[in-house]
Chains A and B, each alone.
Chain A
């Protein structure tokens, strides 16, 4: 029976098999990332509870939320999803098209909605 999930000529996954010592090393990294993600989430929630929107600190907090989210996303993609261990070419094939497209989408979204907001404020009765 021909199955597409069977690896016939190339044996990449089978090659990825590792021994107990290597596994210990990987688990150590997993636990490190777990603690890191938990700490960042706790900090985010604490900031969200104690810093109110519209206060002087808010813009700093808002951008730090976005920065912390990107750090969390980076660890999930590169460590949990092992993209960091893949070949460089695959990394770029996954990340570059996505990044270009989303930066463009963000740009037009922010520009247009800000403009729309201005117009509505101006012509509101």
Chain B
């Protein structure tokens, strides 16, 4: 694909000055350098997440138990939604690489089509992430803490402004995840709920129903930072898309701008591959 890069060029000519020894343009090389620094940032975040998790002595939340919902459906679908987001990003990465390939053939129609589809895929991903954040923040049934510092998980959520008796089949689970896990129903459950100190539902920066506060903090920061990159990528793609429509690159004689934003867009996909593994799977 990179025609010049595969040519056998004499070393003295290559490194003798007056040309790029890497046989890439200035802009492309700087995009690569930027991506290396950005990759270091994301690696730092993921290593920090691993650090917090490894050092933590309690039970750390497990991805498939936290992320198991689909929009508009009830039931348990572990990881399906995240897998869907991953596929959206992979497919938009493929359309981007097809746009780059069309650019190398000076096929303006092809670039328009594939770059357009890439932008659509980007918006789909951003929308999915917005829903996931909303679901993570609102949470599911949640848990209560009592004065003796015990945690009881709710089976059904008690909506704001309602009491336990308003909820049909109200029940609590004590010793969640341990051997002596048991369900409490009836008046005992209602009185425990009424004497609660705190009702934790969903997630914010200080407390969440899934596990230690750092878990939600890392979720917000890592997926948020990645989502911001996706947003930036969509903006860059739109700017380049306008250039394609106006015929700027046709006149310039090459579509390298598509290739450069393509690098950024693939990097966003690359980061998601790692976030998917280290945040959701492991």
Contacts and interface: CB of A to CB of B under 8 A. Distances in A.
Given A15-B4, A23-B105, A76-B266, A65 B254 contact: no
B266 A13 contact: no
A87 B104 contact: no
Contacts of A120: 55, 57
Interface in B67-113: 78-80, 83, 86-87, 90-91, 93-94, 96-98, 100-102, 104-106
B217 to A, nearest CB: 16
B57 A30 contact: no
B105 A49 contact: no
Nearest to B63: A48
Interface stretch (B129-137, B160-168, B223-231, B256-264): B256-264
Interface string B244-267: 000000001111110110110011
Nearest to B280: A48
A112 B51 contact: yes
Interface string A33-56: 010011001101100110001000
Nearest to B62: A53
B230 to A, nearest CB: 15
What bracket does the count of chain B residues touching chain A fall in? 35 or more
Contacts of A94: 32, 36
Nearest to B1: A85
Interface string A8-19: 011111111111
Interface in B194-233: none
Given A65-B281, A80-B266, A86-B22, A30 B101 contact: yes
A20 interface: yes
B185 interface: no
Given A17-B254, A18-B3, A77-B270, A12 B23 contact: yes
A116 to B, nearest CB: 4
B44 interface: yes
Given A76-B270, A113-B54, A16 B3 contact: yes
Contacts of B255: 13
A98 B32 CA distance: 12
28 contacts: A4-B27, A5-B27, A5-B257, A6-B252, A10-B19, A17-B3, A17-B254, A23-B105, A27-B98, A30-B94, A37-B90, A41-B90, A48-B281, A49-B64, A76-B93, A76-B266, A81-B262, A82-B1, A90-B23, A90-B24, A94-B36, A101-B40, A102-B40, A105-B47, A112-B51, A113-B52, A114-B55, A117-B54
